[in-house]
Structure 1
């Protein structure tokens, strides 16, 4: 009995193991495949791969045909080809119509080929790295210039249009200090000579020959002070040295009074304008500087209303630097030096609106660090000659000088604008020296007895707060608070 019972138990075990094997051998349903891990397949754009299966295929399906395409070559082989960068799914069905395999297909650009092309085109970019993400190409590393960075991006866009991640950086300093020097010399030379004759008799009859520019009638009789007072004033002509000679000759005989007046003027004017603004900005950012002010301009409106507008004047500087490489800088700069000119102003409702004398330039240049370039220049020379004379009498040789007035004026102007960019980096507070440091006020003894005025202590070399390499000027950098590498 025991042997028969053991034999029956063994048969039941065989039946159960057989049923389990049959169930395990059946294909999984679609719901079961969702819970299983999906195999990942990577394909390069324009290339293909062959997938072999363990079961016979009935059909295949690609979720996004724009990314990849699949073709059944045989009952157990699938031909998969990458078309564009992206991610899609590949599903396989057997002959019984059930899903037995699924794949995540990742199609990416040919990074190895792209990297070979980039290194061939840009051999100096040793730190350039190219990697692929799920759908994009990522560029990382440090570039030597902004121009090279732009070119690398353009080449990469041809491999994956619209799917390039720019993680590149440009090496070197990105802070640029721009020094601008506006220098102008304006020289004016003026020569003038004129004669005035007057005769007054006892009966009051007058005769005169006025050929002076400022005289419109014969000279009256009287002492010299009454004549020289209105004639001695010469209209101002800027700053300069002038030599004016006003000679009065008077002869009186009885009731007759002869008066002669000679006006001669020699004047030389020299005007010097020098402005050196300095401004710092980051690469690609705008910076503005103004040292001057704004003056009001009345603007008449309707119904007798007057509004005020303000016009800037002084030293202005607008510029935008772009770092092209470790040494090259592109600068868009607009320097301006303006001043008020009341001599050529207008009067509006009792308010004098001055004119503005302006020197302005606007351009874009490419320079290396520390190089200077003259972006604008002007050389102007003008000559004016004026002769006023009486007809016939003024043409008489020698004696004709008594009946004519001559004026000669010559203007010469020379203007130049120079820009110099520098790479800079910040300094510590201990390295910065302000213009007000070391300023001393004299005490009563120094001021009244020794004649000392307020001054700064120490020499100029002791107060510089910027380290400048040899061969570079130190003019305006001592107050910038930056170091020039």
Structure 2
């Protein structure tokens, strides 16, 4: 039995050897293909502009191309090794490529977004000379880079919004902060004129007392005394028994006595008052402000006055609401200025200027309880303008006119035609104010320590010998060697453009 098993095994081995020997030539005629190289399952991110396409090429045969979300992108075969990806909607999805054996060739992310290549070309055309880059993050455009002109940032953002709407992230910085010094001159001219004319009457006795005229009051007696207010000034004069009133007794007024009228024991005298006033006042403020480009700076030369404000029912309030908490707020007045500069290209400065001049006006006051709160007379302007470095611009036409007339008369008698002028007094007052504002911007930069010379730098403390023997309180010394404040170089001439010849900027020191 065992010998038969051995013979069968030996025969099977011989048959297997013959089969292998016969298949060897066939194997040599048809070589077995090498195994596939390992596949990178994630091939990165494919960026596809909206409504545009990208072509994906691989070195293997593609049997299937699958897109994760066909609402965002479509994929179409071009040949056995290339596919066509079309962006349909802003968003992200994935693309998977599979070969004929069902193996994954590649997996890549597909990001459909705005066309940043076209945007970059527009930026180079419309914002030349600035380093601005455009990229895509999810569905937003991201702007990065560094610019010298802050105005280029606004232009770049506005251009990017035409591609992505409000989904624009601005990460652009300014290479160097530009500072603007604004010199403002406020010139206010106040012209006023007044004219008072009338007749004042008084008595030389104790039985009758009456008067006409602006602010006149009488004190009967012998000799008579007149208290008259002329042009806001109260003067007291003693009238002699008759004849001419001494002009030196009433400052700023002109008076002539007519003959005394006597009715029994009653004597009546009359004074003709005539006063003409003219005044001219000028207010000048010249503030200087400094601000960074795009930042706001303000100035106020004046003061503040308190205004009581009712804050509702306080602790002492009753059911009828008689108690209230009162706080105090301070309202500013005076000469004020606020401005916001923006430095544009070619040394042009865009200015938002808001000047204001206000003064307390007692005639516009109102009373709350026993408290009189004055009003404000305000003149305010707001304007936007563009100037070159060192140029000036004037804002004028802020004119205010006032006219007042006052008539004082004896009842009934003052209304009589022609003769009534002897029993009344007229006062006229006219005022006119005009405000002129001159604005001059400068581009400035900080100075080094050796460029700043104070007035006290030229004075040295005296020595003990100089102070004791010579009696000097100080001596002059040489300033340190340096450029100083007044040695700033004039601005260089601007480059000549095809439409405008080059010109020389005005020189200035700061």
Asked if TM exceeds 0.5, the reply is yes
Q: Are 1:261 and 2:271 an aligned pair? A: yes
Normalised to the residue count of structure 1, the TM-score between the two structures is 0.67
CA drift at 1:192: 1.0
Paired with 2:362 and 2:484, the residues of 1 have a C-alpha distance of: 39
Given that 1:346 and 1:355 are in contact with CA atoms closer than 8 Å, whether structure 2 keeps it comes out as: yes
CA drift at 1:191: 1.3
Paired with 2:45 and 2:266, the residues of 1 have a C-alpha distance of: 126
Q: Are 1:231 and 2:228 an aligned pair? A: yes
Given that 1:432 and 1:466 are in contact with CA atoms closer than 8 Å, whether structure 2 keeps it comes out as: no
Paired with 2:352 and 2:187, the residues of 1 have a C-alpha distance of: 20
Paired with 1:153 and 1:205, the residues of 2 have a C-alpha distance of: 90
Mapping 1:355-374, distance limit 5 Å: 355-374=375-394
Normalised to the residue count of structure 2, the TM-score between the two structures is 0.64
CA drift at 1:267: 1.8
Given that 2:405 and 2:427 are in contact with CA atoms closer than 8 Å, whether structure 1 keeps it comes out as: yes
- Correspondence for 2:99 among 91, 94, 102: 94
What does residue 60 of structure 1 align with? 65
CA drift at 1:289: 2.6
What does residue 287 of structure 1 align with? 297
Paired with 2:457 and 2:359, the residues of 1 have a C-alpha distance of: 30
Q: Are 1:243 and 2:252 an aligned pair? A: yes
What does residue 327 of structure 1 align with? 347
Q: State which drifts further: 63-72 or 462-471.
A: 462-471
CA drift at 1:464: 5.9
What does residue 195 of structure 1 align with? 199
Cα displacement string for residues 377-410 of structure 1 (whole angstroms, at most 9, x for unaligned residues): 323444445555565777676x765333232322
Given that 2:404 and 2:430 are in contact with CA atoms closer than 8 Å, whether structure 1 keeps it comes out as: yes
Paired with 1:68 and 1:289, the residues of 2 have a C-alpha distance of: 58
* Counterparts in 2 of 1:43 and 1:278: CA distance versus 1, 3 Å: closer
Cα displacement string for residues 214-253 of structure 1 (whole angstroms, at most 9, x for unaligned residues): 237x7623224x32xx22564259xxxx832245567598
**Where in structure 1 are there 5+ consecutive unaligned residues?**
1-7, 441-456
CA drift at 1:310: 2.0
* Counterparts in 2 of 1:421 and 1:89: CA distance versus 1, 3 Å: same
Mapping 1:264-413, distance limit 5 Å: 264-299=274-309, 302-303=322-323, 306-341=326-361, 353-375=373-395, 377-388=397-408, 401-413=421-433
* Counterparts in 2 of 1:64 and 1:53: CA distance versus 1, 3 Å: farther
**Where in structure 2 are there 5+ consecutive unaligned residues?**
1-16, 235-250, 313-321, 461-476, 478-482, 492-504
What does residue 445 of structure 1 align with? none
Q: Are 1:210 and 2:207 an aligned pair? A: no
Paired with 2:329 and 2:276, the residues of 1 have a C-alpha distance of: 41
Paired with 1:265 and 1:64, the residues of 2 have a C-alpha distance of: 95
* Counterparts in 2 of 1:339 and 1:133: CA distance versus 1, 3 Å: closer
Query: Aligned residue pairs: how many?
Result: 421
* Counterparts in 2 of 1:185 and 1:117: CA distance versus 1, 3 Å: closer
* Counterparts in 2 of 1:88 and 1:250: CA distance versus 1, 3 Å: same
CA drift at 1:422: 2.6
CA drift at 1:174: 2.8
Paired with 1:348 and 1:468, the residues of 2 have a C-alpha distance of: 60
* Counterparts in 2 of 1:345 and 1:111: CA distance versus 1, 3 Å: closer
Paired with 1:293 and 1:384, the residues of 2 have a C-alpha distance of: 28
Mapping 1:104-253, distance limit 5 Å: 104=108, 113-120=118-125, 122=126, 125-128=128-131, 130=133, 145-159=149-163, 166=170, 168-169=172-173, 174-199=178-203, 205-206=207-208, 210-215=211-216, 220-224=220-224, 226-227=225-226, 230-231=227-228, 234-235=231-232, 243-247=252-256, 251=260
* Counterparts in 2 of 1:52 and 1:303: CA distance versus 1, 3 Å: closer
- Correspondence for 1:49 among 52, 55, 61: 55
Provide the aligned C-alpha RMSD in A.
4.8
CA drift at 1:125: 0.6
